Amino acid sequence: GAVVSQHPSRVICKSGTSVKIECRSLDFQATTMFWYRQFPKQSLMLMATSNEGSKATYEQGVEKDKFLINHASLTLSTLTVTSAHPEDSSFYICSATHPENYGYTFGSGTRLTVV
Amino acid sequence: AQSVTQPDIHITVSEGASLELRCNYSYGATPYLFWYVQSPGQGLQLLLKYFSGDTLVQGIKGFEAEFKRSQSSFNLRKPSVHWSDAAEYFCAVVSAGGTSYGKLTFGQGTILTVHP
């Protein structure tokens, strides 16, 4: 149990376009999901906390207008990178908290390349 | 604010040798601690976690970790390393209260290389 599916695994887009990344909890309901960004050879940096039915909470320094988060259901959160620029190229990972075992299950990540 | 330090950026061991990855945390209350493993281009897999109780925690793939409150440490160990253990390992702590409730804070990660 406790599987989180993240899609797509890789995406290449042109500068100025928007990209949507999906994070789904497959076998449990996740009231809270987290979005992280990971630069090469670095640790994970929390971008925002996504709560079902309410606005996301962004970490300091994260542009909420650039990184739009929607958590419309208990099994789906989406991250949309708007007007993408090459500096947005990174590895984005989501995680969901399992309500029973207080565990954090991670998606497999999305490699975003902006050209 | 909570923080996690993994002093070793890169560790190299021979296959079959024992392994210890260090993790120190800074946190005011009793921490919830985790060890994750990440293969290149992949997400994170939970190895083990500590919430309370027995300070020696057993995880998957033969890993264990010991919580030592006096040393603010949660070191990961494995008695005999396999080539498939080569990956990056992250220690993490979660806040159990305040404005950071539920947020994982990660260490910098330790890259493990295994020589045949």
Per the structure, the complete domain to which residue B19 belongs is given by 3-115
- What's the rounded Cα separation, in Å, for the pair A4 and B69? 32
Q: Is A52 exposed, middle or buried (0-12, 13-18, 19+ CB in 10 A)?
A: middle
Mutate to test the interface with A, among B2, B6, B33, B44 (most CBs of A within 10 A): B44
**Number of residues that make up chain A:** 115
Q: What is the pLDDT of residues B62-71, one digit of tens each?
A: 999 999 999 9
Q: What angle do CA B31, B58, B28 make, to 5 degrees?
A: 10
Chain A residues 19-78 within an 8 A CB cutoff of chain B: 32, 34, 42-44, 46, 49
Structure tokens given for A53: 């039915």
Q: What is the pLDDT of residues A34-84, one digit of tens each?
A: 999 998 888 999 999 988 888 899 999 999 999 999 988 889 999 999 999
Contact (CB, 8 A) for B72 and B88: no
Contact (CB, 8 A) for B107 and B94: no
Domain count, chain B: 1
Q: What is the pLDDT of residues A90-111, one digit of tens each?
A: 999 999 987 666 678 999 999 9
CATH of the domain at B27: 2.60.40.10
